[in-house]
Structure 1
Amino acid sequence: MAFSAWLTAHYEEKGPVKWLAFSLELVAAVTLFLLMLLTCADVIGRYFFDNSVDGTTELTEIGIAILIFAEMPVITWRGGHVVVDVLDRMLGSTMLKVLGLLSAFLISTSLYFLAVRIYELAERSLRREEVTEYLLIPVGLVVQYIAVMSWITAGAMITYGVYRLLFASDD
């Protein structure tokens, strides 16, 4: 089976969104694998060689940030967030679509302005040359990544998320 056939069989998204979803999930999977290797090396080093890996806590924190914010756009446009549907039986389908559009707009707007503030904090961190304690990794770069991924999530929510909401029954 060719890779593109495998991708089409395993990803319901269409067009470039499918490739973006695959790329982001690949980043998350590789990060998770590296976190597993780091944890194993740290535990083995600590218990068998009496010497742990320096900066494990910092690398784990950065890895978790990479993992979470790589998956956030994918989860958002797939509608994978927790949804409370207590009133769905009482409301009509038109009202549910209107409420869905309103929530998509509010979520994407909130993420956009949150990302603006996060990016400002990243710029300040880079100007001050803030680094992690042991490995001296610039903190601002990680914070910029979080801001950019929040912008991508906001864009995914307002574009593909709304598309799925409006045209999900037509597929």
Structure 2
Amino acid sequence: MCSINLPGSIELTEIGMAILIFAAMPVVTWRGGHIVVDLLDRYLSTFVVKCLSLLSAIVISGSFYYLGHRIYQLGERSIRRGEVTEFLGISSGYIVQYIAIMSWATALGMITYGVYRIFFQDKSN
């Protein structure tokens, strides 16, 4: 059995996974693909369920906004310090800032289309 060891291949895999995962976050949010547990929906009125859904959308989007803000600051600090990956020398700060931007996109998707889905989409679909 032959084994080839390419320097930096693990780094490229990690960077690729970060790009792929954080690129999918806004898409999943926009499509409403998150897991939803509706244990109390049949016992509560439609108005209460919509209010709770709106509250959760606001909390989630606010959390993603704050998370993105903090991650962006960490990315700026990495760039200022000149932090790079071990083998390939890729600046890790730009990847961290990409994660922050995708977190902001997720927050925007949640607060816009998420709220739209709460109030205007028919539940029978």
Aligned to 1:9: none
Given the alignment of the two structures, is residue 108 of structure 1 paired with residue 108 of structure 2, yes or no?
A: no
Tell me which of the two structures has the higher relative contact order, counting C-alpha pairs closer than 8 angstroms and 6 or more residues apart.
2
Given the alignment of the two structures, is residue 141 of structure 1 paired with residue 59 of structure 2, yes or no?
A: no
Aligned to 1:129: 82
Equivalent of 1:155 in 108, 111, 114:
108
Aligned to 2:20: 67
What is the CA-CA distance between 1:65 and the residue it aligns to? 0.7
TM-score normalized by structure 1?
0.69
Aligned to 1:44: none
| Residue segments in structure 1 that go unaligned for 5+ positions in a row | 1-46
User: CA–CA distance in 2 between the matches of 1:168 and 1:139?
Assistant: 41
What is the CA-CA distance between 1:165 and the residue it aligns to? 1.4
User: CA–CA distance in 1 between the matches of 2:98 and 2:9?
Assistant: 20
Output one character per residue of 1:31-61: Cα deviation in whole Å (capped at 9) or x when no partner: xxxxxxxxxxxxxxxx53x432221111111
Q: Which runs of 4+ in 1 moved over 6 A?
A: none
Aligned to 1:76: 29
Does the residue aligned with 1:169 lie in a helix, a strand or coil?
Answer: coil
Superposition CA RMSD, Å: 1.5
What is the CA-CA distance between 1:89 and the residue it aligns to? 1.1
Output one character per residue of 1:62-101: Cα deviation in whole Å (capped at 9) or x when no partner: 1111011111011112211111111111111111111110
**Structure having the larger proportion of residues in helix:** 1
Given the alignment of the two structures, is residue 97 of structure 1 paired with residue 50 of structure 2, yes or no?
A: yes
Which residue identity is paired with 1:164?
A: R
What is the CA-CA distance between 1:142 and the residue it aligns to? 0.3
Aligned to 1:118: 71
User: CA–CA distance in 1 between the matches of 2:44 and 2:111?
Assistant: 23
Given the alignment of the two structures, is residue 168 of structure 1 paired with residue 124 of structure 2, yes or no?
A: no
| Residue segments in structure 2 that go unaligned for 5+ positions in a row | none
User: CA–CA distance in 2 between the matches of 1:149 and 1:90?
Assistant: 36
Q: How many residues align?
A: 124
**Identical-pair percentage:** 60
Which residue identity is paired with 1:152?
A: A
